[in-house]
Amino acid sequence: MKPALKNRSIENIFLMGTSGTGKTTIARWILENYFKEISTYVNCWKYRTTHEVLKEILLESQIPVHGKEPTGELTKILEKTVKNRKIIVCLDEVDRLDEFDLLYLLARSGHGLILISTRCHVLASLTTRIRSSLALTEIEFPPYKTDELYDIIRDRVEFAFRPGSLKNEFIKIASLAAQGDARTGLEIIRKAGKKAEIRYLNEVTMRELEETINEVNKLKRVYPFDKLNEHQKAIYDILEKKRKLSSGLLYNEYCTTMKRPVVDRAYRNYMRRMVNLGLIKAEGKGRWKTYEIVM
């Protein structure tokens, strides 16, 4: 990324790995400390459309827009900025984008890209035109090992807990339960501490720890469903009953279920999101593609 400091192009980067492995933390820390004036960060969970992302990039770059401009106008404004300075654009949760053509637009405009996703295969379905334009350098963030998580959690505990209020063996249990996810491990300890505090205990007991681990595991299973709209939930319900269906048959059943079904293109976007959420898995391509339930 150093060439950007001299207003030169950088390699586009793809940070991939499961949740809680530090992708976002490291990317934001580097941008904040070394490229603050020439970088923008956009969370694609919140901003999914091309128009929304372009507007956020411009606003973060201190370029005033009111957000009502057509997408084409926002594109022209962004292209003008490249003539004066290179901008590093970080797109977190990039797999949540509604349209991947945005990546082609940004890459061809000369902006440096940092793409972040929990799913390493998310960009495999991109067209050759987009993939060749991106020319991504992939950096994998593997899940933390149990002893690494233990060190991370213990370090936080030393700052957040009263000495002696949390046994080291409980930190080890939380590290195992987190399964490589630092965010989950820290959340287990935080919630267990809160429970002990509410119960006026001097230290966390196994009761609080077990309760918290069960709650966190349940939340991890339920969380993806909260991201589905009514159409996606209807599709999921069909697959849950059938277990596995071809794309065409699934779409036909969906159309008979919903009063106002979406068009084929929107349906494909919905399926892609559910695959990315880990709720279903896809096999094959085009007319031979099949979907199967996972959860």
Select the CATH number that applies to the domain covering 228-293 from these four: 1.10.10.10, 1.10.1040.10, 1.20.1050.140, 3.40.50.1820.
Answer: 1.10.10.10
Q: Which two tokens stand for residue 236?
A: 């999921």
Q: Does the pLDDT at position 224 exceed 80?
A: no
- Bridge partners of residue 14, in order along the sequence: 115, 138
Rounded CA gap, 178 and 61, in Å? Answer: 37
Q: Is 17 helix (H, G, I), strand (E, B) or coil?
A: coil
Q: Does the pLDDT at position 295 exceed 60?
A: no
Cα angle 72-78-84, degrees, rounded to a multiple of 5: 145
Q: Which two tokens stand for residue 128?
A: 């050759």
Q: Is 283 helix (H, G, I), strand (E, B) or coil?
A: strand
Q: Does the pLDDT at position 185 exceed 60?
A: yes
Contact of 134 with 107, CB cutoff 8 Å: yes
Task: List the chain domain ranges.
Answer: 2-140, 146-223, 228-293
The predicted-structure confidence for 235-282, as pLDDT tens digits, reads as follows 988 988 888 899 989 999 999 988 888 888 888 888 887 887 777 888
Query: What is the CATH code for 146-223?
Result: 1.10.8.60
Least confident of 30-44, 113-127, 130-144, 212-226: 212-226
Q: Does the pLDDT at position 220 exceed 90?
A: no
The predicted-structure confidence for 101-135, as pLDDT tens digits, reads as follows 899 888 888 889 999 998 766 676 678 888 888 88
Question: Percentage of the chain surpassing pLDDT 90?
Answer: 41
* DSSP string covering 198-251: HTT-SS--HHHHHHHHHHHHHHHHHGGGGG--HHHHHHHHHHHHHSEEEHHHHH
* Fold of the 2-140 domain: Rossmann fold (3.40.50)
Mean pLDDT to the nearest integer, 183-196: 94
